[in-house]
Structure 1
Amino acid sequence: MNTSELNSFIVILIYGSLVLLSLLKLANPLKVNRKANFWFGIFLFLWSTFWLDEVLFLITGEAVEFHSLFLVRCIQFFTPIVFYFSVLFFTNPSFTFKIRDFRFLLLPAAFLLCLILVKLGYESPFEYLSVILILIQALFYTGLSYVTIRKHQRKIQQFSSNTEEINLNWLEYIILVLLIVNIIYVIYNLFYDPKSLNFFINTVFLFVIYWVGYYSLKQREIYPVEEKQREELIAINEDSDSEEIKRKLISDEELIKIKNSLERLMEADKPYLDSELNLIRLAEMLSVSTHHLSYVINTGFGKNFFQYVNEFRVEYAQKLLKESNSKLSILGIAYESGFNSKTSFNTTFKKVTGQTPSEFKK
């Protein structure tokens, strides 16, 4: 099999994999992150259309400029926006579109106008302007998605003690790929004949798509399914980034009372040994609201929930590491201390103590 045949095979795999993955995300058999997976499935389908020219050529044997069609170009232009919508719903499943969100249509409207003018015969400079708009759209929405994910990674530390499976790190890599895809697309349109991407780039895309498929299908529910609990956590997240956190939610006396109760609970019952411990469970143990508990941890201890709980876990792990007769491995100690992976254990342990668990044990 020569390079051309191998490239054709890879193109079919890319297109087929994206369409199949799109259908899986839309069907969402696990019923998790429903709105986010719906938009992510649409994004994957739109992404697949960028290879449809090559697929049609393999089927018909004739060059088919599918992506140059007026309607197709309009639809493909929405790819970065749809990706951003999926990020919005991953990070806030209660998000709803409002009238002000019509601003999302400004760039598509400008792009549509350029295409109409090109169609009317004004190819220069509007053809080049449409390509520039594609680049602006891609850079803007991928950048906005990246910032949104970064904020999410800070916010989930307000209510989760193990963030590894809900931090959406895998979406950051998609953002990087999207940027590369759009830059390549623009370069090919401006300087080369954009009939197909080369064998090496397609090979990279294939591996990236399978990587995306693996992580997107194993992504667990980020927020509680129960609406009331979800709304409480989202509200706490919003408060933590605003001036409201500086206002007193409870009196100093009540703060000290809850703080003392929390300290006694952590020492006596060791709830931090539960790897699934979150703000809701801890608040239920203390019979206080999640808002008040979050305020006490932030104000009374100067930490977020993630930091507060994991410092107890590290302290407990240190005791186990010091025991000379302990038969537990490093991984065993991680699980015994409430961590759910060796990676999160090593990262958190070093951040708190300045040493890795292995260095501390020696």
Structure 2
Amino acid sequence: MNTSELNSFIAILIYGSLVLLSLLTLANPLKVNKKANFWFGLFLFLWSTFWLDEILFLVTDSPIEFHSLLPVRFIQYLTPIFFYFSVLFFTNPSFTFKIADTKYFLLPTVFLITLWCIALGYEKPFEYLSIILILIQALFYTGLSYITIRKHQKKIQQFSSNTEGINLNWLEYIILVLLIVNIIYVIYNLLYDPKSLNFFINTVFLVVIYFVAYYSLKQKEIYPLEEQQRNELISIDADSDTEEVKRKLISDEELVKIKTQLENTMELHKPYLDSELNLIKLADMISVSTHQLSYVINTGFEKNFFQYVNEFRVEYAKVLLKQNDSKLSILGIAYESGFNSKTSFNTTFKKVTGLTPSEFKK
């Protein structure tokens, strides 16, 4: 099998995998992150159309410039926006579109006008403009999606003690890889023959797509399904900002009282050993609202919820690691201490103590 045949085979795998994955995502068999998966499924379907030229050529044995059709080019132009919408709903399932959000369609409108000018015969200046708009759109929404995910990773530390399954790291990695590949592709298009890069690009995309399939289908529900609890946690995210934390939610006397109550609960009942502990559960234990508890932890201890709980877990793990007669492995100690994976245990332990659990044990 020569390089051309192998590239065609990879193109078939890419197109088939993306269409199948888009259908699975839209069907959403696990019924999680419903709005996010709807937009992510549409994004995957639009992404698959970029390989239709190659698929149609293989089927008809004659070149069909499907990608160059103006309506198709406009629909494909929406791909980065649909990806960004999926990120929006992953990070905030209560997000609703408002009139102000029509700004997201400003660039597509300009692009549509550009395509119309090309259709009227003004190809030269507007063809270059369309390429620039495609690059701007991709970079803008890729960057915006990346920033949104980074903010999300900070937000979830306000209410979750284990963020590994809900931090959307996989989307962050996809963004970085796609950004690098697209920059290489655009530069190659401008300076060299893009066909010589097809095999490399397709191979990278195939790997990325299987990575997407693995992580998107196993993505857990990020926020509670119950609407009131979900909205409560999302509103607490906003309260974590510096200015909001400074604003007094309760009196100093009440803060000291809840702080003492919280410390006693952590020492006596050890709720941190529950790997699924979150702000709602802990607030119920000490009979305060999630807003009050978040305020007490942020202001009274100058930590977020994630840091506060995991420091207790690390201290408990240190006791277990010091026991020379213990038959528990490092992974066993991680689970006993309330961590849900060895990776999160190692990362958190080193951040708190400066040593890995193995180094500490020695």
TM-score by length of 2: 0.97
Q: Report the CA distance shift for 1:83/1:95 in structure 2 as closer, same or farther (over 3 A).
A: same
- The CA deviation at 1:199 is 1.5
Corresponding residue for residue 76 of structure 1: 76
Using the alignment, how far apart are the partners of 1:316 and 1:109 within structure 2? Answer: 57
Corresponding residue for residue 154 of structure 1: 154
Alignment of 1:44-193 (within 5 A): 44-187=44-187, 189-191=189-191
- The CA deviation at 1:244 is 2.1
Using the alignment, how far apart are the partners of 1:182 and 1:15 within structure 2? Answer: 18
Q: Does 1:231 align with 2:246?
A: no
SS of the residue 2:30 aligns to: coil
TM-superposition CA deviations, 1:256-281 (whole Å, max 9, x none): 11111100000000000000000000
TM-superposition CA deviations, 1:190-218 (whole Å, max 9, x none): 44565685222211111110011000100
SS of the residue 1:153 aligns to: helix
SS of the residue 1:338 aligns to: coil
Structure 1 stretches of 5 or more lacking a match?
none
TM-superposition CA deviations, 1:100-139 (whole Å, max 9, x none): 0111111001111111111111112110011000000111
Using the alignment, how far apart are the partners of 2:86 and 2:193 within structure 1? Answer: 32
Alignment-mate amino acid for residue 213 of structure 2: G
CA contact (8 A) 2:311 2:352 kept: yes
SS of the residue 1:132 aligns to: helix
Alignment-mate amino acid for residue 37 of structure 1: N
Alignment-mate amino acid for residue 342 of structure 2: K
Q: Report the CA distance shift for 1:71/1:194 in structure 2 as closer, same or farther (over 3 A).
A: farther
Using the alignment, how far apart are the partners of 1:314 and 1:350 within structure 2? Answer: 9
Corresponding residue for residue 331 of structure 2: 331
SS of the residue 1:32 aligns to: coil
Using the alignment, how far apart are the partners of 1:115 and 1:181 within structure 2? Answer: 25
Using the alignment, how far apart are the partners of 2:337 and 2:296 within structure 1? Answer: 24
Corresponding residue for residue 205 of structure 1: 205
TM-score by length of 1: 0.97
- The CA deviation at 1:290 is 0.3
Q: Does 1:293 align with 2:268?
A: no
Corresponding residue for residue 30 of structure 1: 30
CA contact (8 A) 2:11 2:54 kept: yes
Alignment root-mean-square deviation, CA: 1.3
CA contact (8 A) 1:138 1:178 kept: no
CA contact (8 A) 2:181 2:201 kept: no
TM-superposition CA deviations, 1:125-165 (whole Å, max 9, x none): 11001100000011110000000000000000000000000
More moved, 192-201 vs 14-23:
192-201
Alignment-mate amino acid for residue 232 of structure 1: E
Q: Report the CA distance shift for 1:61/1:190 in structure 2 as closer, same or farther (over 3 A).
A: same
Q: Percent identity?
A: 82
TM-superposition CA deviations, 1:52-73 (whole Å, max 9, x none): 1000000000001011001100
CA contact (8 A) 1:26 1:38 kept: yes
Q: Does 1:356 align with 2:356?
A: yes
Structure 2 stretches of 5 or more lacking a match?
none
Corresponding residue for residue 3 of structure 1: 3
Alignment-mate amino acid for residue 199 of structure 1: F
SS of the residue 2:306 aligns to: helix
Q: Does 1:346 align with 2:346?
A: yes
Alignment-mate amino acid for residue 210 of structure 1: Y
Using the alignment, how far apart are the partners of 2:359 and 2:40 within structure 1? Answer: 42
Using the alignment, how far apart are the partners of 1:180 and 1:66 within structure 2? Answer: 25
Using the alignment, how far apart are the partners of 2:316 and 2:49 within structure 1? Answer: 52
Corresponding residue for residue 214 of structure 1: 214
TM-superposition CA deviations, 1:279-313 (whole Å, max 9, x none): 00000111110000000000010100000000000
Alignment-mate amino acid for residue 18 of structure 1: L
CA contact (8 A) 2:297 2:308 kept: yes
Alignment-mate amino acid for residue 345 of structure 2: F
CA contact (8 A) 1:57 1:64 kept: yes
SS of the residue 1:198 aligns to: helix
Using the alignment, how far apart are the partners of 1:46 and 1:193 within structure 2? Answer: 25
Q: Report the CA distance shift for 1:68/1:193 in structure 2 as closer, same or farther (over 3 A).
A: farther
SS of the residue 1:238 aligns to: helix
